[in-house]
Amino acid sequence: MSVELDLAFFRSLADCDAANLRVQNRLAKMHSGEDVLRFFTQYAAWNGHFANGVAALASLIGDNRGHFQEPGFARAVADRSNYVASFIFDAARDEYDDHINPMRDTHRCMAQASLISMARFYGLGDEVLNEPDPRALSEVCDGVMFGYRGRHHTGAGVVGEIFAGIGYHLGSELLADREFSLIDEHLRGQRNDLVQHLLRSTVELAGGTHRCYAWVGVHSGHGGGVEADHFDYAVAGAKAGLQFLVGATQADAVAALGSGFRAFAEDHRRFFLIGMDT
């Protein structure tokens, strides 16, 4: 394989500086408490699809045993698809239950606790939380599962779809690490009163107690940094996939990785442009 799958390679696939600037510009559009709650409601709606996408991708990889084989072993013991999938599933494991909290605490529950506490802080009722998703948001949300299944990539058959899905996942983890850090920086710098309220607050939902700043905290590079960890796991999974690949060339697989990464970067661009025309 002539390409080294490192951070520099993936950063070369998209304009990360432009992506960061879009995040900052979108955050700067928040003026009122209603603006803040509406942005985070939409952000949580988008984010809530990624756990399902990761799980679907892990299943897609694991179910294709014939494409991931280790030479020198008999047929019944040669497939390594579940091994490759395990690196992707690491992200799903955290998404469905963050083990920092002794209670079952999905990242979706974390996000919902944040929204409830934000609404209380600003003295808002349920009006914003009950708003239907704007069409542009629905389209971006629909694109998550499409991206994780690699459906935008048409080359190399199912192998192309798998590696495009891994690329999409890598894009989501790399860009989200800085994205959440920028959100954390903005809130602490511009709305520290809200941050302090969220840090002090918990919400009861789904039979458990959920901390209200944990959603931002564990994702930000200033806190738990889970996105960076998930990126490293996914890179290891991509490398393992290439090592055991059967039925396509490594060059085709790497091309699909790039396609998937760029597809996420486009969805990221589309999300952070929502609300910029108001």
Buried (b) or exposed (e) across 183-199, using 16+ Cβ within 10 A? bbebbeeebeebbebbe
Residue 237's φ and ψ, nearest 5 degrees, are -65, -40
pTM of the model: 0.92
Could you tell me if 259 and 152 are in contact, meaning their C-beta atoms sit under 8 angstroms apart? yes
pLDDT at 224: 47
Could you tell me if 229 and 102 are in contact, meaning their C-beta atoms sit under 8 angstroms apart? no
pLDDT at 93: 80
Domains of the chain, by residue range, sit at: 7-49+110-227+247-273
Q: Which residues of the chain have pLDDT under 70?
A: 1-2, 98-101, 221-228, 278
pLDDT at 223: 45
pLDDT at 278: 62
